[in-house]
Amino acid sequence: MTIKKMTSLNITGKTVLIRSDLNVPIKNGIIQSKARILAALPTIQLAIKNNAKVIIMSHLGRPKEGCYTKKYSLFPIFEYLKKKLKQTNVYFSDDYKKSIKINSGEVVVLENVRFNKGELSNSDELSKKYSELCDIFIMDAFGSAHRMQSSTYGIGKFVKIACAGLLLISEINALKKVLKKPKRPMIAIVGGSKVSTKFNILNKLCKIADTVIVGGGIANTFLAIDYKIGKSLYEPDFVFEAKKLRDQYNIIVPIDSRVGKNFHRNEKSTIKLPINIQEDEEIMDFGDESIKNVIKIIKKSQTIIWNGPVGVFEFPFFRQGTEMIAKEIAKSNAFSIAGGGDTLSVIDMFDIQNNISYISTGGGAFLEFIEGKKLPAIDMLEKNLKLNNRIN
C-alpha cells in the first residue's frame, strides 16, 4: 500500500479539506459519545498548527439525501469543536457551494455531506465541486473508508493532491499489527444482532484466531443448531452455515443465558440453560457460567479483537455479560483492539477508554479491513498518488 501522508506535505497557507468521521450519537441536541470527535482532533489540530486554511466535512446518520433534517445537522458538533479549539476561529457553513473565505489557522465546519444530492451515489458533479474547495484533500475518516461516496472516494479523481490524515494512518497500522504477527493465544469476540452481516468476518477470524467467542443474535443463531430458543433474535437461513463453522473451528457459544419475556428496558432477567428456554422467552445476554468461561479465555489471551456487545447492554438487567467481559478486556495485559459503533458506546458506558490498547473508529471499515478487503478510500489514495506521479 503506497499512499501520500499528510505529514509529508507542506500545508502552510494551503486550503485543506479534511474528511473526518464525526458520525456520533446525538440525542436532543446533546452528543452522547465524543470518541470519534476526539479521535479526529489530532489531524485537525496539526493542520491548524501548520497555518493551513482548514475545512472539515463529515456525514452524520442516515438522512434522506438532498434534504435538510435538523436532527442530522452537524451544528452541535461544530459547537463542541468550537469549545475544544478555543484558541482558533471556527465557523459553520450550511452551504458548500458558497465561497468559503478563511484565513490561515482558521476552521470552517461544513454541514452534513449527506444533505448534498449525489453524495451517496458518488456523483462526479458533486465530487468535482468538493475538489474545488481545496488545494489538498485529507482523508481521515476511517469509519467511512469502506464507502464509495463523493466525500470519501469520488473527490480523489478531481483533487490535485489527496493524502491520509493521522487517524487513518494509525488505524491501518494498528490493524496490520493484529493481522500480520499477533501474539498468541489470539481471541476474537464478535457480538451483534445478525450473523449474515458478519458471516464473512467470522470466516476470516476463525482462520486467524485461536478462539472465536460469539454473542448477541449471532450466538443465538449458533444455539439454534441444537436448541429451540423461543422468540430469541436469530437467523434461520444461516443455521446450517453456522453449524459448518462450529464443526470446523473453535467457536465458543454461551452455555447459559439471561432471558426475558418482553424486549423492554425494565424487563427482569432469568438465567436459563438453552434446553429450558420457553416459547415466550428470548435470550438477551450471557448467563453467569458463560461469563466465567469467557473471562478464563480472556485471562490467557495475548491478542484480543473485539467487535460488538454480547447482549442488550442498553437494558440494565441484560448488561452484565457485556459489562464483565468489557472490564476483563480492559484489565488484560493482552494487546486489545476494539471497533464498531456499539462497541464504542460500551467503552464509553463503562469508562474504559484508557485501558483498551487501540480503539478503532470504524465499524464496517474495521470488519472489511480484517476480512482482507481493500477499502475504497485506500484505493482512492493509491490512484491519486499514481496519477500525480505520472503528471509530475
**Which residues are the active-site residues?**
36, 194, 341, 364
Alpha-carbon gap, residue 327 to 68, rounded angstroms: 40
| Amino acid code (one letter) for 259 | V
Closest CA to 320 of 272, 271, 282, 286: 286
Do 24 and 32 meet the contact criterion of CB atoms below 8 Å apart?
yes
CA 20 to chain centre: 13
Cell of 159: 483533487
Q: Which helix (H) or strand (E) holds 298?
A: helix 288-300
Q: Report DSSP letters for 15-47, one per residue.
A: EEEEE------EETTEES--HHHHHHHHHHHHH
- Among left, alpha and beta (phi > 0; psi -120 to 50; other), residue 81 is alpha
The residue behind cell 479523481 is 157
Q: What's the sign of the alpha-carbon dihedral 62, 64, 67, 68? A: negative
